[in-house]
């Protein structure tokens, strides 16, 4: 996701440290203290501009949502939008998902969403794909064994690659859907990319998988 550099982003993040949590590693195994309840934690990795989290937080007030987004310029846009919704069950982290195991304790997370992750089509960049086996290792560590990894994309190549990666890692595939929008699943919340690509007539793929 390309974003112009935003010189005000650092000040914004300082002023809104109650929402975009600085030093997230200090909250390892304590995230529910920040939410003030013991509801399950659902994590979206690569949140982008936050539309998915806004819709999910509205639909599921009894779930605590955390969005991790690498790009500072992107996360400030998401944070502005999400704070405006007034939902108290959302927090954000400006970090690389590579550091997941420093931020969350074993089994601390109930569900992980990967929505329209960057495809990194060149083989030499495979390690950057969020479904590469090193990332799966991190997800396995922080995810409750009964929890799900839910992955949506419009990118056929990334979807095929990810199914192979999941299968090689020993993940149990709970759902493989080759045309999600045909399902008319009332539970599906669209992301920005999902709206954009499906409006162009592109098929949306979804896979739900478990580590147990």
Residues engaged in binding ligand SAM (CB under 6 A): 1, 45-48, 68-71, 74, 96-98, 115-118, 191-194
Q: How far is the CB of 9 from ligand SAM (least distance, A)?
A: 13
Half-sphere exposure of 110 (CA within 13 A, CB side): 12
Q: How far is the CB of 192 from ligand SAM (least distance, A)?
A: 4
Give helix 156-169 / helix 133-142 axis angle, nearest 10°. Answer: 60
Catalytic residue among 10, 62, 118, 179: 118
Q: How far is the CB of 108 from ligand SAM (least distance, A)?
A: 17
Feature table: binding site for substrate: 122, 154, 191-194
Which string of b and e fits 64-89 if b means at least 16 CB within 10 Å? bbbbbbbbbebbbbbbeebbeeebeb
Feature table: binding site for S-adenosyl-L-methionine: 44, 69, 96, 118
Between 116 and 205, name the residue whose CB sits nearer to ligand SAM. Answer: 116
Between 96 and 182, name the residue whose CB sits nearer to ligand SAM. Answer: 96
Question: How many residues are listed for the chain in this entry?
Answer: 212
Between 38 and 124, name the residue whose CB sits nearer to ligand SAM. Answer: 124
Dihedral, CA of residue 185, residue 187, residue 193 and residue 199, to nearest 10:
40
The answer to whether 118 is a known catalytic residue is yes
Q: For residues 90 and 18, is the Cβ–Cβ distance under 8 A?
A: no
Feature table: binding site: 44, 69, 96, 118, 122, 154, 191-194
CA pair distance 26, 29, nearest whole angstrom: 9
Indicate which residues carry an active-site annotation: 118
């Amino acid at each position: 996701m390309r974003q112009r550099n935003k010189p005000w982003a650092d000040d914004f993040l300082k002023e809104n440290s109650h929402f975009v949590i600085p030093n997230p590693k200090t909250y390892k195994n304590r995230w529910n203290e920040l939410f003030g309840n013991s509801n399950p934690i659902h994590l979206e990795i690569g949140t982008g501009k936050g539309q998915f989290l806004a819709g999910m937080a509205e639909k599921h007030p009894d779930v605590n949502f955390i969005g991790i987004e690498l790009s500072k310029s992107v996360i400030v846009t998401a944070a502005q939008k999400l704070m405006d919704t007034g939902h108290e069950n959302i927090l954000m982290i400006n970090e690389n998902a590579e550091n997941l195991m420093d931020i969350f304790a074993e089994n601390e997370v109930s569900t992980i969403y990967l929505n329209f992750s960057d495809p990194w089509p060149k083989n030499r960049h495979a390690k950057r794909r969020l479904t590469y086996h090193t990332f799966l290792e991190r997800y396995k560590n922080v995810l409750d064994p009964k929890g799900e990894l839910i992955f949506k994309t419009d990118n056929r190549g990334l979807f095929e690659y990810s199914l192979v990666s999941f299968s090689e890692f020993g993940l149990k595939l709970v759902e493989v859907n080759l045309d999600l929008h045909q399902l008319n699943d009332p539970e599906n919340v669209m992301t920005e990319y999902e709206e954009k690509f499906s409006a162009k007539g592109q098929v949306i793929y979804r896979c739900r998988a478990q580590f147990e």
